[in-house]
Structure 1
């Protein structure tokens, strides 16, 4: 793996990801030559994590850089690449890397066509935009993508990730949409699920639901990562249809907005528990009926 030479890095822009990765590259010995930011929060992050780095418009940041780091929302990325290319800010010999999980390197066509090296470097981590993220990168994998067949480009991508302290994982261009779907489905929906569980506990009068949920959910996550479906527990996997009916009834009474998600997840749990041999075949019909039971019927 070849270490990139010391590079002038331009960060577009100083969001939670860009500011942290810019600081990680600076820590690795590169020079952040410019950063762009508009909102008060992004300017504060730039000041905290990239002190003394000039805050400039995107075309000036990119034009002065050897490595252009595009840390933008997915929907903003294609337009920014086209705009920078049209402004003449991207040139042959540059490295142009983005941090989007949803895109590979095809989106960088306006830059790679004229001869820039395009890379996708997606950190599989949630960011706060604060200094502690620099340490969390040490336990973070990056989904990296380069042009098919260009082993030198793949090596540059991997070397940059290693320099930042992360672990590179190769993701082919065609697999990027499914790769990103998997991560979003797991991480984003997990936050929603945990928050809804905490809301339900508050409804019971529990003042600190995180103290109840923390050990339980940490163990469940660890077991799921270690053992997959064999880690399933609870009334659906056991075939306790009566308990599932109670869940449906109380959600219908107290949190009807959560009931569709509960039913959808319970159905997938039943399917996976059946396929893995945890849920007895003779109990699957009862569980399916309980999941779909009418909330009024459950009160009778």
Structure 2
């Protein structure tokens, strides 16, 4: 190609801004998404935040973007990100619609996993263009969140006529759109919470128990193990199950429960629930032999009632 016709790649900041972006709710998600849109050539113009923490986060992630009341965000923005807790979203939308803050033709995007676009119906009646774009990602409130959006799946729900707009916004933020039907949003979100939120609880609990067992660096011990387990599970599903439950080692499982009762009784209900679920799935997929499953499930059932003899040594056994 002739050098005179070659063009240098342009920095996103050099491109004309296409949409003025506002954020209502400066939690961990909103500023990160606005920052990602900024890198794609859009222009953050306003952010609202109530707590001191949210204001500091907005200043860190979106420097020079003014922090204003929510209604002022709507005055300035073509695209408004509603990044508030799920339970607060319906009331917020109704309130904004009732006060006339929403302008016809304004793109209104919420990031709730639980809701589709029906929750935005009051805004739609006011002329807004509703989109539900939920990033399937955990957020820290720092710059690393923007980097993690690269390749991140977004659960997308939108009217058919806004499908292309929804896809374009997700792709510009570095994500991959995954279409979720309106009626499937709660199930979709439950699946993500089961996998990600409960994983944090399990890992934190495992590190705590390893610490009680004398392990100096529980994170170092668990890191390679959990990384391999996650990779195997994503590749092979239930076929990746290992450990005493999948093997039917009833004695080992009973010993686990006994030790947990002594050192971490709060962990027992979770262990029993997960062990039963694991046993059911291992049995259904042919990993746990039926002849071993009965003893294993019996041990789990017995473990649930075992503490009575310890808490009431003078009891009559009835």
TM over 0.5: yes
In structure 2, the residue matched to 1:229 is 238
CA distance in 1, matches of 2:309, 2:142: 48
- Report deviation, 1:226: 0.3
1:79-126: CA deviation from partner (whole Å, max 9, x where unpaired): 111111112111211110100101000000111112211000100000
CA distance in 1, matches of 2:152, 2:142: 16
1:87 aligned to 2:99?
A: yes
In structure 2, the residue matched to 1:186 is 195
Q: 1:12 aligns with which of 4, 24, 27?
A: 24
- Report deviation, 1:139: 2.8
- Residue pairs, 1:209-228, within 5 angstroms: 209-228=218-237
CA distance in 2, matches of 1:267, 1:297: 21
In structure 2, the residue matched to 1:117 is 129
Q: 1:135 aligns with which of 130, 139, 147?
A: 147
In structure 1, the residue matched to 2:251 is 242
In structure 2, the residue matched to 1:270 is 279
Asked if structure 2 preserves the Cα contact closer than 8 Å seen for 1:235 and 1:243, the reply is: yes
CA distance in 2, matches of 1:258, 1:296: 14
1:243-296: CA deviation from partner (whole Å, max 9, x where unpaired): 011011111111111111111100000000001000001111001011122445
Say which SS state the counterpart of residue 102 (structure 1) adopts. coil
- Report deviation, 1:155: 1.3
- Superposed CA RMSD in Å reads 1.5
Structure 1: any 5+ residue segments left out of the alignment? none
- Report deviation, 1:206: 1.1
CA distance in 1, matches of 2:64, 2:89: 26
CA distance in 1, matches of 2:255, 2:94: 55
Asked if structure 1 preserves the Cα contact closer than 8 Å seen for 2:74 and 2:103, the reply is: no
CA distance in 1, matches of 2:254, 2:142: 44
CA distance in 1, matches of 2:126, 2:197: 37
CA distance in 2, matches of 1:200, 1:288: 24
Asked if structure 1 preserves the Cα contact closer than 8 Å seen for 2:133 and 2:170, the reply is: yes
Query: Higher relative CO (CA 8 A, sep ≥ 6), structure 1 or 2?
Result: 1
Structure 2: any 5+ residue segments left out of the alignment? 1-16, 311-318
- For residues 131 and 296 of structure 1, do their structure 2 counterparts lie closer, same or farther at Cα, with a shift above 3 Å needed? closer
CA distance in 2, matches of 1:39, 1:199: 31
In structure 2, the residue matched to 1:205 is 214
- Report deviation, 1:63: 2.3
CA distance in 1, matches of 2:201, 2:144: 24
Asked if structure 2 preserves the Cα contact closer than 8 Å seen for 1:246 and 1:298, the reply is: no
CA distance in 2, matches of 1:155, 1:291: 52
Which deviates more from structure 2 when the two are superposed, residues 43-52 or residues 220-229?
43-52
CA distance in 2, matches of 1:185, 1:256: 22
Relative to the length of structure 1, the TM-score reads 0.94
CA distance in 1, matches of 2:232, 2:226: 10
Which deviates more from structure 2 when the two are superposed, residues 34-43 or residues 265-274?
34-43
1:126 aligned to 2:126?
A: no
Say which SS state the counterpart of residue 202 (structure 1) adopts. helix
